[in-house]
Amino acid sequence: MSDERIEFIVAHASGSGVVPYIHPMPFDTLAIVGVGLIGGSVGLAAKTRGVARRIVGIGRDERNLSRALANGAIDQFTTNLAEGVAEADFVVACTPVDRLAEDVIAAAHAAPMRCIITDAGSTKGNILAGIRGKMPVDGPEFIGSHPLAGSEKRGSANSKPEMFDGRLVVVTPTAESDPEAVAVVELFWNQLGARTMRMDAHEHDQALAMTSHLPHAAASALAGVTPPEWLTLTAGGFRDTTRIAGGDAELWAAIFLANRDAVRDALDQYLDRLGTFRAMLTEETHAELVRWLSEGKKVRDALGS
């Protein structure tokens, strides 16, 4: 695949009628906005798998961009977003969730009309809400993506080409999305080694509040209540359960606020379940406590080790 040019025919619906054009993959130019852990990994994976001839990195921090260039995640860089996407066939916005909407809008206004824009944000509804009515009428299409991959470590220094291998990427088209653009976005992630799944953005946010955002808050709160002098008295359980509490606080604060209603709903279910546990402790009901624990065990066992 890496040396082979796949011609991917995309019928792109513009305002003035269907304008069929050939969408090439490997792309001539892939632009990555925000070259951190995920953006850098997109670059490395795309490079390794021959998904693009040229990868342009766009960011704010020249030192970080230089490091990504040295790592081989990008071929060139600029701190000017409009300049960076000017020739892009495909743009992946990998900035924090509270900056994604504005970056997508800016990219859409500066990129060629044929360009397709996606992102890698952990929340999807807020981006759709943020770009609504602000995208160019005949300009590039935006299709949201969320690769379920990452690490509590941040920065392009921790990027790796196998970041997406076998991982799931949720793609969140809307009723208005161009089906071919959706297909290109899915093909892109597949080329990086990931599986894809289509989902409604709102449903995605509800599910991820429970499967990702709540666990982060739960882990952070556990670490937060633990007196540091007791850390010597921890073992593998504490270590695993709190691992993600080491994640970037700014990024996670943005995620929580971007999805705050769904996170609050998930949290309320969690608090309710812990309240049940508290009552069982008080009443010393061994059998009920076993049942309560078994319910959690059943779900966890279904996931595998």
Q: Do 143 and 185 contact (CB within 8 A), yes or no?
A: yes
264 binds a second copy, rule: CB under 8 A: yes
Q: Which is nearer to a second copy, 192 or 208 (CB)?
A: 208
Element (H, E) at 146: strand 144-147
Q: Which is nearer to a second copy, 53 or 99 (CB)?
A: 99
281 binds a second copy, rule: CB under 8 A: yes
Minimum CB distance to a second copy, residue 109 (Å): 27
Minimum CB distance to a second copy, residue 282 (Å): 7
267 binds a second copy, rule: CB under 8 A: yes
Minimum CB distance to a second copy, residue 130 (Å): 15
Residues 213-232 that bind a second copy (CB under 8 A): 214-228, 230-232
Question: For the window 177-216, what string marks contact with a second copy as x by the rule CB under 8 A?
Answer: --------------------x------x--xx-xxx-xxx
129 binds a second copy, rule: CB under 8 A: no
- Own/partner pairs for 126-130, CB < 8 Å, 24+ apart? 126/97, 126/100, 126/101, 126/258, 126/259, 127/97, 127/100, 127/101, 127/201, 128/172, 128/174, 128/201, 129/101, 130/100, 130/101, 130/102, 130/104, 130/105
Q: Which is nearer to a second copy, 5 or 243 (CB)?
A: 243
Q: Do 104 and 131 contact (CB within 8 A), yes or no?
A: yes
Minimum CB distance to a second copy, residue 76 (Å): 31
Q: Do 223 and 73 contact (CB within 8 A), yes or no?
A: no
**Binding a second copy by CB under 8 A: which of 158, 167, 198, 200?**
167
Minimum CB distance to a second copy, residue 249 (Å): 4
Count of positions on this chain that bind a second copy (CB under 8 A): 88
Minimum CB distance to a second copy, residue 190 (Å): 17
Q: CA 239, CA 256: separation in Å to the nearest integer?
A: 23
163 binds a second copy, rule: CB under 8 A: no
Residues 71-90 that bind a second copy (CB under 8 A): none
**Binding a second copy by CB under 8 A: which of 11, 82, 157, 290?**
290
* Sign of the alpha-carbon torsion through 162, 165, 170, 173: positive
**Binding a second copy by CB under 8 A: which of 5, 60, 132, 239?**
239
**Binding a second copy by CB under 8 A: which of 79, 80, 174, 269?**
269
- Own/partner pairs for 202-209, CB < 8 Å, 24+ apart? 202/124, 202/125, 204/124, 204/125, 204/146, 204/170, 204/172, 205/123, 205/124, 205/125, 205/259, 205/262, 206/262, 206/265, 208/122, 208/123, 208/146, 208/259, 208/262, 209/259, 209/262, 209/263, 209/265, 209/266
38 binds a second copy, rule: CB under 8 A: no
